[in-house]
Structure 1
Amino acid sequence: MAVLEGIRLPEDDVVPSVVPPFEFEERFDAAGFHRWFRARWWWSAVFSAAYVLLVFGGRRLMRHREPFRLRLPLVLWNSGLALFSLLGTLRMSRSLLQTARHEGFVRSVCDEQGTHPVAGLWIALFALSKIVEFGDTAFLVLRKRPLIFLHWYHHVLTCIYTWYGYAHLVAPCSYFTGMNLAVHSVMYSYYAVRAAGFRLPKGLSMVITALQIAQMAAGLFLIVIAQMTLGAGEPCDWSNFDSILAASMYASYFVLFLNFFRMSYFSKSLRIKKE
């Protein structure tokens, strides 16, 4: 832990910003919005329950209907989420690098950023975006595309945990937010290009799934760091319950994405070879 605590980036006053924060970001009342949100974070369970009902109800309604094409809406949808994720990645990475540079890596993991103006805004927007992302499934249902367990399970659990994490200012959620936004900026860009009708190498989809698996492994690593810090009696916005909750989620994601990777990119090729 002492080695990790000592990790610091070169000492500069400010981490350069690729896109400087806008005035509305810097003036965001992060603490005030958080107080409002904390009293309502349980709404995520209601939204998630409604999502599950609509998903499976929608599949039933679409059973005897022709699929919708929705090419233009799908391009716009994915492009919008890609841009949102990219800007969020830039904001969160700058905030986390700033903390790591001046206070060390462990403090960047263990100090919450949800009440800081710019980072707090993006953590809040990220939490709200988990409701918006339910729309991904609507496109699958309306286009009559396969809906696997991993897809809707991931959407539901991520939504509820993200709202819980932000409401309770669980410190590593800043990293969880940044990692998810980074992966989504690549993923939604890929989906947007494909929806526009361009053919892309199959290897790109493998890379995206590999990034998702790496994200889950990194999440488990951060959980270990936070738990070790807490166990050492050092200050950390974390608890044993947070550890159980986050580890269960990330471990299940890791196993499911790993299985998805195996089934999607190796099982079919193995069957072809046997034939």
Structure 2
Amino acid sequence: MRNRQPLKLNGLFKAHNFMLTGISGALLVLFAEQLLPSLWAGGVYENICGASGWTQPLVVLYYLNYLTKYVELIDTVFLMVKKKPLTFLHCYHHPATALLCYTQLIGSTSVSWVPITLNLTVHVVMYWYYFQSARGIKVSWKEWITRLQIFQFVIDLGFVYFASWDYFTSTYAPYLPHVGTCAGHPAAAIAGVVILSSYLVLFISFYIATYRKRSTRRSAAKIAGQAERKMEKSEVPMMKETAEKATQAVKAANTGMHNISARRPFS
């Protein structure tokens, strides 16, 4: 694209985002259909560490969710043909998520549904925002998408750290405090911890760089504008007073010249 004009492809972009909104929402409903009765019957711990979190219907949904990660790579294609900047976060996040889903699939981790369902929730909101933006509708809550993503990773890591701790302590250090044992492969646990932790750091950094600095600049500009208006307001009376004094001085000078002229004899 270096020597080409940027392509708009707005119709395809709208269709892509609308499709991913629908797919994410449909998968979220299917996950809820499987998980809600299981959570009611077995509780949270059984579903994040036991067999209830790795049933055949859930594995099918895990796999379908994994396939969507390749569809989401088209996001990068749209940015490229539109000649938009490709940030490190974007280029890292998409393939790393596909890798994360793959490692959890082959590692049979029961806790997988927690980050997946939260991610699907975020994607429903995010891709709907992109769809509305492509339609030319101005959305004021863009900043909240990043906040929602950060909140998602905090919850993810709480569950993943707990499940990983339970697995490693029960397997390698049973003398340490733990609840029970968690299903899954150790490589999958490590991959989940590392990738999700990196997401949290990167998204917080992105949020600070994008929104906090922008807010600081706006505050500085607002303060500067207020100071300028105050100076203008204070300068007006001073200028008025100065003008009045100058006018009085001119009048006094004219009066003096008139008196001198009245006393001077004609030549």
Change (3 A) 1:115 1:104: closer
User: Please, which of 83, 88, 96 is the counterpart of residue 22 of structure 2?
Assistant: 83
Contact 1:219–1:250 (8 Å) recurs in 2: yes
Contact 1:114–1:123 (8 Å) recurs in 2: no
Matches within 5 A, 1:79-118: 79-111=18-50, 113-117=53-57
Aligned to 1:34: none
The CA deviation at 1:154 is 0.5
Aligned to 2:213: 267
Q: Tell me the alpha carbon deviations over residues 87-128 of structure 1, each in whole angstroms, 9 at most, x when there is no partner.
A: 1111112322222211111111113545422x3322111011
SS at match of 2:181: coil
Change (3 A) 1:269 1:235: closer
Aligned to 1:198: 137
Aligned to 2:160: 223
> Please, what TM-score do these two structures have when normalized by structure 1?
0.72
SS at match of 2:4: coil
Between Structure 1 and Structure 2, whose CA radius of gyration is higher?
Answer: 2
The 2-side partners of 1:80 and 1:65 are apart by 28
Query: Is 1:257 matched with 2:194?
Result: no
Aligned to 2:146: 209
Identity of aligned residues (%): 30
More helix per residue: 2
User: Please, which of 159, 163, 180 is the counterpart of residue 234 of structure 1?
Assistant: 180
CA RMSD of aligned residues (A): 1.7
Contact 1:96–1:175 (8 Å) recurs in 2: no
Unaligned runs of 5+ in 2: 170-177, 222-267
Unaligned runs of 5+ in 1: 1-61
Query: Is 1:74 matched with 2:13?
Result: yes
Contact 1:183–1:212 (8 Å) recurs in 2: yes
User: Please, which of 117, 125, 131 is the counterpart of residue 178 of structure 1?
Assistant: 117
Change (3 A) 1:146 1:77: same
Aligned to 2:257: none
The 1-side partners of 2:102 and 2:8 are apart by 33
Aligned to 2:60: 121
**Residue identity opposite 1:122 in structure 2:** L
**Higher relative contact order by CA 8 Å / sep ≥ 6: 1 or 2?**
1
Q: Tell me the alpha carbon deviations over residues 28-71 of structure 1, each in whole angstroms, 9 at most, x when there is no partner.
A: xxxxxxxxxxxxxxxxxxxxxxxxxxxxxxxxxx1221111111
Q: Tell me the alpha carbon deviations over residues 174-212 of structure 1, each in whole angstroms, 9 at most, x when there is no partner.
A: 2121111111011111111111111111xx111111111
Change (3 A) 1:115 1:102: closer
Aligned to 1:44: none
* Matched residue count: 211
Contact 2:111–2:160 (8 Å) recurs in 1: yes
